[in-house]
Amino acid sequence: MIIRKLGANEVKPLELLLLADPSREHVLDYLQRGDCYITEEADQVVGAYVLLPTRPQAVELVNIAVSEAMQGKGIGKKLISDAIERAEKAGYKTIEVGTGNSSIMQLAFYQKAGFRITGIDRDFFLKNYKEEIFENGIQCVDMLRLSKEL
């Protein structure tokens, strides 16, 4: 599987990234400020992630998404490994990620990749998203912040 940086003139995988973040406004914002990486199968983008520098020695994985038809095939695991490796090669000391309190599968996914919970942004989703978000029968209210030392 080849994971590559999306070219400046290539179409951004907006619909794919919206699977992981329902705010078109937020996705468009961090696509402009960060670097998008993709993987393809049969000329279709099936996975993507966005890395956004946040502080001199830290980078945030602001979105990671796999097309619904391709989930459960290890693509997400390869994408997160690639993101960690690229961040390390770029000289970052920490990679961070945020996920909703209701995102049970994602929380397990990040911890399996070596991320540890470092904080909670209380009411993040209430303050920053117009629509209510529910996952696993739980309202997404707080953002759990995780990080991994590189």
Render pLDDT for 98-144 as a digit per residue (tens, 0 to 9). Answer: 999 999 999 999 999 999 999 999 999 999 999 999 999 999 999 99
Residue with tokens 């912040």: 145
What angle, 0 to 180 degrees and rounded to 10, lies between the N-to-C axes of helices 75-89 and 104-112?
50
- DSSP codes, 100-144: ETT-HHHHHHHHHTT-EEEEEETTHHHHH-SS--EETTEE---EE
- Compute CA 128 distance to the chain's CA centroid, rounded to the nearest angstrom: 17
In the chain the domains, ranked by start, together with CATH numbers, are: 3-149 (3.40.630.30)
pLDDT band at 1 (very low <50, low <70, confident <90, very high): confident
Q: Please, what is the Cα angle at 105 between 85 and 47, to 5 degrees?
A: 50
Of the chain, the end-to-end C-alpha distance in Å amounts to: 23
Residue with tokens 């097309």: 67
